[in-house]
Amino acid sequence: MLSMAKDCEVEVSSEDEGFKGAWYRAILQENPTKSGRKKLQICYMTLVDEDGSSLLTELVEQRLIRPVPPEDPNPNNGVDFEEGSVVDADLKDGWWTGVVVKKMADDDKFLVYFDHPPDLMQFQRKQLRTHLDLIGSEWVRPENKELSKSLSRSGTMVEVSCKIDKLEDVWVPALIVKEDNDDDEQKRFIVKCCDDKSFTFDGDDDAKPNILAVDLCNVRPKPPPCFVEKYDLLDRVDAFRGGLGWRQGLVRRILSEERYIVSFVATKEESVFKHSNLRLSQDWEDGVWLQQPKSLTKPGNKTPSQGKRKMSMETTLTCRPKMYSTAAKPITYKRTRKRSKTSSENVETIGNERESVAAIELSLARVSLNQKADDARNGDDTPVIMIPTGN
């Protein structure tokens, strides 16, 4: 057994719900016993007590205390992580165990899946370390996990159907976190809403993304890219409004500086959008992408299936979306409260911060006639989205 003694630095885990798989640095305040049955007092190095005035001390079972693992050799040029690598991520003052599911285009960034609770986050290489298990007196690196080959595997970018005031369908960008096998009647996914334009899920991001459980029929793949140099009048487009998602509309007026006035099909409301926030509208039907003609000179004269052009025969999710019902439900996990010393003025709970990626109910605001894109955000610039559960 590797030696531990009073006043040495150690790592402490917890069996509390919501903290499994996390290790926190602490100072051991008494010597371990030979029997190992006595609880030992430790003082956390990153957690504070309820009033935030001093570092948190606890009595912890010896089996939950271990020496500090050896550091990665040359962390910037040494161990190279790949898809399936088991890692520890530096997150909210602790080390959380996860699995790399995707190596990003930027070689210095990785998408990491966590199981407790289910979540996906993006980290830089410097925020990760090799996961090591202490077996006897030796540190052992676990074998890489075998990842699913499915096209709906963890980390896949998709879009989730939702409604505005039960009136308009909106497609919200999201990442598949995992398949939800709790419901045997219908296949469901746990997804994480995100911005597919910025795609920023850094581990130290205090924004509060949202995780939902959705039916397969309310999920579709991300549409294939379709380059458009310039949109014409009456082009059928999807307009992206930050915090809301993609809304279907028609180009009603062409402005200067690559800007357009778009009228939303469902509400007839109009708003100004940049070229970069528009895309040609495509429909996902029976596993195939269909695109409307470039311009509709007489809207309303064609049925939904007429005039559509196949974009791809390759299927990813083989269920036609239900355009008039949404079964997305926010997921809320219970979590024990522990406090961090990261802020002396406003001490947030470690539990709540780590839980924030999986607990917030979404809300969609009706967009007024003259509302700008940024108006969709609340006072602290956090996107507000609501996915109704349906009747």
> What count of Cα atoms within 13 Å lies in the side-chain half-sphere of residue 181?
1
Cα separation, 39 vs 10, in Å, equals: 15
pLDDT for residue 323: 33
Helix, strand, coil content of the chain in percent (nearest 5): 5, 40, 55
pLDDT confidence of 127, banded at 50, 70, 90? very high
Mean pLDDT within 104-122: 87
Lowest mean pLDDT of 29-33, 193-197, 236-240, 272-276, name the range.
193-197
Q: How confident is the model at residue 318 (pLDDT cuts 50, 70, 90)?
A: very low
Ranked by mean pLDDT, which of 66-70, 340-344, 356-360 comes out on top?
66-70
115, amino acid identity: D
Which of 37-41, 165-169, 205-209 ranks highest by mean pLDDT? 37-41
Which residues, in sequence order, are bridge partners of residue 158? 174, 221
Question: Which two three-digit tokens encode residue 325?
Answer: 């019902």
The answer to whether residues 197 and 383 touch, using CB atoms and an 8 Å cutoff, is no
More confident residue, 232 or 356: 232
**Which strand (E) or helix (H) includes residue 352?**
helix 350-355
pLDDT of residue 182: 65
Percentage, residues of the chain above pLDDT 70: 67
Element (H, E) at 351: helix 350-355
Among 31, 26, 41, smallest CA distance to 6 is for 31
- Higher local confidence (pLDDT), 299 or 51: 51
**What pTM was estimated for this model as a whole?**
0.71
Q: Pairing mode, if any, of strands 94-103 and 109-115?
A: antiparallel
Rg (CA), the chain: 25
Q: In what order do the strands lie in the sheet with 309-312?
A: 282-285, 288-291, 309-312
Q: What is the pLDDT of residue 67?
A: 95
pLDDT digits (tens, 9 = 90+) for 73-111: 655 555 679 999 999 999 988 999 999 999 887 768 899
- Closest among 273, 214, 281 to 248, alpha carbons compared: 281
Rounded distance between C-alpha atoms, residue 345 and residue 342, angstroms: 9
Stretch among 138-142, 252-256, 308-312 having the lowest mean pLDDT: 308-312
Using the predicted structure, report yes or no on whether residue 349 has a pLDDT greater than 50: no
Residue 254 class from Cβ within 10 Å (0-12 exposed, 13-18 middle, 19+ buried)?
middle
The tokens describing 14, both together, are 């917890």
Take residue 316 and report the two structure tokens written for it. Answer: 């990813």
Token pair listed for 302: 């064609």
Is residue 225 very low, low, confident or very high in pLDDT (cuts 50, 70, 90)? Answer: confident
Q: Environment class of residue 7 by beta-carbon count within 10 Å: exposed (0-12), middle (13-18) or buried (19+)?
A: exposed
Computed over every residue of the chain, the mean pLDDT equals 74
Is-cis flag, bond preceding 209, omega within 30?
no
Per DSSP, the residues of 117-172 read TEEEEEEEGGGEEE--EEETTEEEPPPPPPPP--TT-TT-EEEEEEEETTTEEEEE
Write out the DSSP string of 251-279: EEEE-STTEEEEEETTT--EEEEEGGGEE
Q: What angle do CA 223, 282, 122 make, to 5 degrees?
A: 20
Task: Give the whole-angstrom CA distance, residue 179 versus residue 153.
Answer: 8
What is the DSSP secondary structure assignment for residue 116, as one 8-state letter?
T
Write down the domain spans for the chain: 9-67, 148-334+350-391
Answer yes or no: are the C-beta atoms of 180 and 213 closer than 8 Å.
Answer: yes
